[in-house]
Amino acid sequence: MDPDYDLIVIGGGPAAERGAAQAAYFGKRVAIVERNDEPGGAAVHTGTLPSKTLREAGLFLSGYRQRDLYGVTVGLDEELAVPRLLARKDAVERLETARIHRNLERHRIELVHGEGRLADAHTVAVATPEGERRLTAHVVLIATGSSPFRPPGIPYDDEDVHDADGILGIERLPRSLAVIGGGVIGCEYACMFAALGTEVHLVDPREGLLPFLDAEMGERLVRAMEGLGVRLHLGRRFERVERVGTGLEVSFADGPTLGTEAVLVATGRTGNTAGLGLEEAGIEIDRRGYVVVDAEFRTAVPGVYAAGDVIGFPALASVSMEQARVAVCHAFGFTYKERVAELQPYGVYTIPEVSCVGLGEDEARRRGIDVVVGRASFADNVRGQIVGDREGMVKLVFDRASRRLLGCHCIGEHASELVHLGQVVIVLEGTVDALIDMVFNHPTLSETFKYAAYDALAELGPADEPGRPTDAATPAAGSPTPRRPPAR
């Protein structure tokens, strides 16, 4: 008997949408099973887009970007701040939800509302208000995402205790906030609330923040966060949170307690696999609730695949989308996309933004690569001066022998956008000379790539090839003097 669909996707987030669209693009019959009222998942409703929208709205409402630029102080009406923040978040959420519906309709993907459960490798039982509906398919893709991990010792029923999803439901700005967890989400929210005037304490048992960043960029971020007013409590492990009078108290194993008005717990995520019937079907789940898959995103059960945050690291919306596309291509034998690119950019939406792709300086040296580093500051860039960002920087890591770009690291305004220029150069195996030869719009922050390349060239020297000056040659008119930083 022919099944109802070629592909059933359980979940409605970025991975689910892109995986479904990939199959539909090649003419497959596809259905998405979504338990919430609207598709989009955490990325649209509780995580990625709402938090980034709140960040932008917070920067605007607080006047943060204009403080240095115009020398003005902007006061924030505490009574109006949260309603305005949430209104902007809700507007973006509605726009993105409408876009998803248009995309599903364009690809003729059926959206089935209800709680999906894997009955067997080719059957999904959907609990709907009208009763159970059983759907069959050749392939099932699990893309149910993740939820905040909740460590013990925290009174989650307290109205002033929030996890990374619940923080978006606040009704007023707290005067003080303790953020437990110094990962990406914790750092982003710490910066956001600090910019809005909240006294923020960031607690993490590790000695440093965001160890995946290039060490120099991580140090710059720490200084920037401290300058923003974030008080760091690193190397401290919390034991419990409890209500004391009108406030909350965070207790540690190694010293004094911390008093605060509100607490945000941001200690990682856990896979949304409970109630899906996966283990009963023979699919392996790890201790954090993530589905275990192979390199082609196959589970232990033939015909069942999983992709996105539900399989764990790196849990980036950008990568989750690609994982789902690749999973579908393997499932149906499409050669269109057979792997997820190894080179993946990271964007951290702190204040300032930090973004990186490729190798960091220390990591490259640990691998035994002889590297040359070039840096360019936004303070020396006209656009940086115009927008008032004097702390931003682009750092480029080159292989001395081949002159190829190995890593790109950005901090400051639009860092998560700028990093893609470095990504393209790395993918195309471009060298320092390619960046030197490029013409950039002026004034732009992108020009920092050219001057970071010039900075590296001061140590590398010009390439020994026809048409290029050597150390002994006289530079052409307008060229920088070899082995010296260029005039700006």
Beta strand 304-306 with 110-113 is unpaired
Mean pLDDT, rounded, for 353-378: 97
Mean pLDDT, rounded, for 468-487: 37
Mean pLDDT, rounded, for 384-390: 88
Which CATH architecture does the domain made up of 161-267 adopt? Answer: 3-Layer(bba) Sandwich (3.50)
What's the confidence (pLDDT) of residue 488? Answer: 42
Please state, for a pLDDT cut of 90, what percent of the chain lies above it. 77
Instruction: Find all residues with CB under 8 Å of 437, minimum gap 6, and list them.
Output: none
Q: Which of 131-135, 269-273, 473-477 has the lowest mean pLDDT?
A: 473-477
Q: Quote the CA–CA distance of 92 and 46 in Å, as a whole number.
A: 12
Mean pLDDT, rounded, for 368-376: 98
Mean pLDDT, rounded, for 409-438: 97
* Residue 403 confidence class, pLDDT cut points 50, 70, 90: very high
Check pLDDT > 80 for residue 88.
no
Mean pLDDT, rounded, for 88-110: 93
301-344 per-position pLDDT tens digit:
999 999 999 999 999 999 999 999 999 999 999 998 889 999 99
Q: How far is CA 127 from CA 5, 142, 196, 202, 278, in A?
A: 18, 17, 43, 41, 16
* Residue 76 confidence class, pLDDT cut points 50, 70, 90: low
Listed in order, the ranges of the chain carrying CATH 3.30.390.30 are 352-460
Task: Report residue 198 as tokens.
Answer: 């909240």
DSSP annotation of 10: E
Q: Quote the CA–CA distance of 254 and 218 in Å, as a whole number.
A: 25
Check pLDDT > 90 for residue 430.
yes
Contact in structure between 412 and 391 (CB atoms under 8 Å):
yes
Q: Quote the CA–CA distance of 24 and 299 in Å, as a whole number.
A: 22
- The DSSP element (H or E) to which 346 belongs, if any, is strand 346-348
Q: What is the pTM of this model?
A: 0.88
What's the confidence (pLDDT) of residue 390? Answer: 85
Check pLDDT > 50 for residue 51.
yes
Task: Report residue 98 as tokens.
Answer: 């409408």
Among 331, 281, 294, 301, CA closest to 7: 331
What's the confidence (pLDDT) of residue 77? Answer: 59
Listed in order, the ranges of the chain carrying CATH 3.50.50.60 are 5-148+270-332, 161-267
Burial per residue of 348-384, b for 16 or more beta-carbon CB atoms within 10 angstroms, e otherwise:
bbbbbbbbbbbbbbebbeeeebebbbbebbbeebebb
Q: Quote the CA–CA distance of 223 and 201 in Å, as a whole number.
A: 15
Query: Does a cis peptide bond (omega within 30 degrees of 0) precede residue 211?
Result: no
What's the confidence (pLDDT) of residue 48? Answer: 85
CATH superfamily of 5-148+270-332: FAD/NAD(P)-binding domain (3.50.50.60)
What's the confidence (pLDDT) of residue 47? Answer: 83
What's the confidence (pLDDT) of residue 469? Answer: 40
Check pLDDT > 70 for residue 119.
yes
Mean pLDDT, rounded, for 261-265: 97
Mean pLDDT, rounded, for 83-87: 75
Q: Quote the CA–CA distance of 88 and 420 in Å, as a whole number.
A: 27
352-460: what fold?
A: Enolase-like; domain 1 (3.30.390)
435-451 per-position pLDDT tens digit:
999 999 999 999 999 99
Provide the 3-class DSSP secondary structure of residue 63.
Answer: coil
What's the confidence (pLDDT) of residue 69? Answer: 60
Provide the 3-class DSSP secondary structure of residue 323.
Answer: helix
DSSP annotation of 413: T
Cα atoms found within 13 Å of the Cα of residue 51, Cβ hemisphere only: 24
Provide the 3-class DSSP secondary structure of residue 143.
Answer: coil
134-191 per-position pLDDT tens digit:
999 999 999 999 999 999 999 999 999 999 988 888 888 899 999 999 999 999 999 9
Neighbours of 208 (CB within 10 A): 15
316-325 per-position pLDDT tens digit:
999 999 999 9
Check pLDDT > 50 for residue 486.
no
- The DSSP element (H or E) to which 148 belongs, if any, is strand 146-148
